[in-house]
């Protein structure tokens, strides 16, 4: 049995609310995002964190800070790493998602958002994201889990999807169906190879009327 790996996504950001691709742009959480992040802290109070990793982007770090505000005092070591930054959306950064969908069509739009190898001009594929997330996880995080440490990761929709693809042994095609919602947190125990041996999902109550 390993320590627990807790995987969370940052809460709603200003650009999520606008419906535009954010990527590596530094934006803050919305008022709703701050409130939801605090709810995540509440549902994780029973878990002890030995280390906390966030990306280098503001919205992930704001989520961590709000989460800890309700979680309570922790002596967990806190680190930031570019390895779990969001996918670089290249030329699509700042563009309205739903306007792009009208331009390229539903099938191509779904591939851009969800497929493993869908290219973006001057940006990253999900495979590119995976090729930085998974080696970091195996080299840095996995040895700590196997030493019975509990690790919290607060990252992004695509960096979390890349990590969960590996943990849950999801195929390249199957990753299209793998979602990482704002309101869900995933808790894993892992084997020596870093794959999940158990998975628990926890969910906060939030308004889900907005289309992301």
Alpha-carbon distance of 113 to 147, in angstroms, equals 36
Alpha-carbon distance of 22 to 14, in angstroms, equals 9
> Across the strands, what pairs with 96?
20
Active-site residue identified among 12, 62, 86, 124:
86
Return the HEC string of 66-117. HHHHHHCCCCCEEEECHHHCCCCCHHHCCCEHHHHHHHHCHHHHHHHHHCCC
Active site residue 42: no
Q: Which residues, including other chains, have CB under 8 Å from residue 61's CB and lie 6 or more apart?
A: 54, 55, 80, 154
Q: Rounded to 10 degrees, what is the CA torsion of 133, 135, 139, 141?
A: 30
Here the tokens at position 174 are 């199957």
Residue 157 contacts residue 9 (beta carbons within 8 Å)? yes
Q: CB neighbours (10 Å) of residue 25?
A: 18
Active site residue 205: no
User: Strand 77-80 vs strand 51-54: parallel, antiparallel, or unpaired?
Assistant: parallel
Provide the annotated active-site residues.
10, 86
């Amino acid at each position: 049995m390993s320590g627990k790996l807790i995987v969370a996504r940052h809460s709603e950001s200003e650009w999520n609310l606008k419906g535009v691709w954010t990527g590596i742009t530094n934006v803050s959480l919305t008022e709703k995002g701050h409130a939801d992040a605090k709810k995540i802290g509440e549902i994780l109070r029973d878990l002890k964190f030995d280390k906390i990793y966030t990306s280098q982007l503001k919205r992930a770090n704001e989520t961590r800070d709000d989460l800890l505000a309700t979680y309570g005092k922790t002596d967990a070591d806190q680190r930031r790493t570019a390895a779990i930054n969001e996918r670089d959306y290249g030329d699509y950064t700042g563009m309205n998602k739903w306007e792009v969908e009208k331009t390229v069509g539903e099938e191509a739009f779904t591939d851009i958002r969800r497929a493993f190898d869908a290219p973006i001009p001057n940006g990253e594929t999900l495979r590119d994201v995976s090729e930085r997330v998974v080696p970091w996880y195996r080299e840095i995080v996995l040895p700590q889990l196997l030493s019975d440490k509990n690790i919290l990761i607060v990252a992004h929709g695509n960096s979390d999807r890349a990590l969960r693809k590996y943990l849950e042994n999801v195929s390249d095609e199957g990753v299209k169906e793998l979602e990482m919602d704002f309101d869900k947190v995933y808790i894993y125990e892992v084997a020596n190879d870093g794959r999940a041996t158990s998975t628990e999902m926890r969910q906060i109550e939030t308004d889900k009327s907005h289309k992301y």
